[in-house]
Amino acid sequence: MSRILIVLMVVALVMLQFKIWFSPSGVIEGIHLHRAIAQQEKINMQLAKKNKKLLQQILELKHGEASIELLAREDLGMVKSGETFYQIVDRSN
């Protein structure tokens, strides 16, 4: 009788341990969630830096002509009157 009781207790213990480790709310799932949270926080930090940089650029554009001129020169290739524009073409490709 006591052997049956011991076997039943061991089986119950194994079943409980299985639930603790492998259930949808178990330890392994918790580890996966912690990793996913850490990865998402890293992505969020990168996006926050990008947003801060864009906000700074917006403020510069609102309050200064120098930054508008810089963007026009870099992105649109604009030149002032009286300036000479030189374009260097790389023919190594």
pTM of the model: 0.51
CA distance 35 to 40: 9
Element containing residue 79 per DSSP (H, E): none
pLDDT in tens, 18-42: 777 777 888 888 899 999 999 999 9
Residue 41 structural domain: 25-75
14 in any annotated domain: no
With 90 as the cut, is the pLDDT of residue 78 above it? no
Question: How many domains does the structure of the chain reveal?
Answer: 1
60 in any annotated domain: yes
To which residue do tokens 């990008």 refer? 50
71 in any annotated domain: yes
pLDDT in tens, 43-66: 999 999 999 999 998 888 788 787
43 in any annotated domain: yes
3 in any annotated domain: no
2 in any annotated domain: no
40 in any annotated domain: yes
